[in-house]
Structure 1
Amino acid sequence: MNKPIRKFLLTCALLFSFPGIVSAGAGGEMTPIDLQTLVKPNPISLREASTLVGREDITFYDVNTLEIWADGHVPGSVYFNVKRWKRLLPENKDATLIFYCANQLCDSSREAAVSTMELGYTNVFHMADGIWGWRQRGYPIERP
């Protein structure tokens, strides 16, 4: 048997041995798409965020634990890790909102930003370096 035919037959045998791996269509009912994978907040650097602190038209949201927030947070930031978080959002859905948590390993702030975007807020940012990156850069912090 020549080499191309043997290769073809081997490929067919492998494909039919594992029927669920290569098939067209899902074969089931349609399910909703997880918006967490599609909606992504705008990234913002520590340097850029530091220039926005104190502006009345911009709100920083700290999504850390209460202990981390109390140990120091971006000046003027709102503690966001609460059950009734929707009450903390402004009425204006075009307001600039910046979310952060501890560091790049913490995903809570990105999830909070995405949930806010799903409510229709359009100017949402995620400061991935978080409060630890903020402190490492020597930016000012505030304590309650």
Structure 2
Amino acid sequence: MFAMLMGLKSIAPRELHALQGHSGQGATTVVDVNARHSWLKARVPGAINLPPEFEAAMLPADRAAPLVFYCSNPLCRKAPQAARKAEKLGYADVRVMSAGITGWVGAGLPVESGG
């Protein structure tokens, strides 16, 4: 797995799952940029669904808050593009789960579904 994804920090599914298990300071916002029907089918627990062309107001007001973006699989470019946009908006702690939801499911991690 690449530590850096074209200049972006990446996070593995199990690493994100462990991070979510540690509540406390600065909860991580997980952003699914897949189509809404995909998000409804299976998503990382607690993930919000945003379009890849999201507005700044859709993200947390705290620009130091950790953000993790993902899409469908390692070949999908929507998550890296969304992460770059968040960085340009001034977010300091932005990562990409490049494995996507397929990697999350493949690792046997829990998913949420429905609306």
Equivalences for 1:24-43 in 2 at 5 Å? 40-43=7-10
The alpha-carbon deviation at position 41 of structure 1 amounts to 2.3
Structure 1 residues 58-83: Cα deviation after superposition (integer angstroms, max 9, x where no partner): 10000001111110100000101165
* 2:77 equivalent to 1:107: yes
Moved over 4 A (4+): none
Aligned residues: CA RMSD: 1.7
The aligned length equals 106
Which amino acid in structure 2 is aligned with residue 119 of structure 1? L
Is it true that 1:141 corresponds to 2:102 in the alignment?
no
Q: Offset at 1:53?
A: 2.5
Q: Which runs of 5+ in 1 are unaligned?
A: 1-38
Identical-pair percentage:
35
Contact 2:31 2:67 in 1 (8 A): yes
State the Cα distance separating 1:52 from its structure 2 match.
2.0
Residue 40 of structure 1 and its aligned partner are, at CA, apart by 2.8
Write the distance in 2 (CA, Å) between the matches of 1:110 and 1:141. Answer: 22
Which has the greater radius of gyration?
1
Which residue of 64, 76, 79 corresponds with 2:46? 76
> Which amino acid in the other structure matches residue 50 of structure 1?
H
Q: 2-side partners of 1:82 and 1:41: how far apart?
A: 16
Aligned residue runs from structure 1 range 1-144, under 5 A: 40-53=7-20, 55=23, 57-81=27-51, 84-143=54-113, 144=115
Residues 53, 76 of structure 1: 8 Å contact kept: no
| 2:3 aligned partner | none
2:9 & 2:84 partners in 1: Cα distance?
10
Name which of structure 1's ranges 105-114 and 39-48 shifts more when overlaid on structure 2. Answer: 39-48
Q: Which amino acid aligns with 1:108?
A: K
Contact 2:52 2:82 in 1 (8 A): no
**Cα deviation per residue 1:123-144 (whole Å; 9 max; x = unaligned)?**
0000000000100111000012
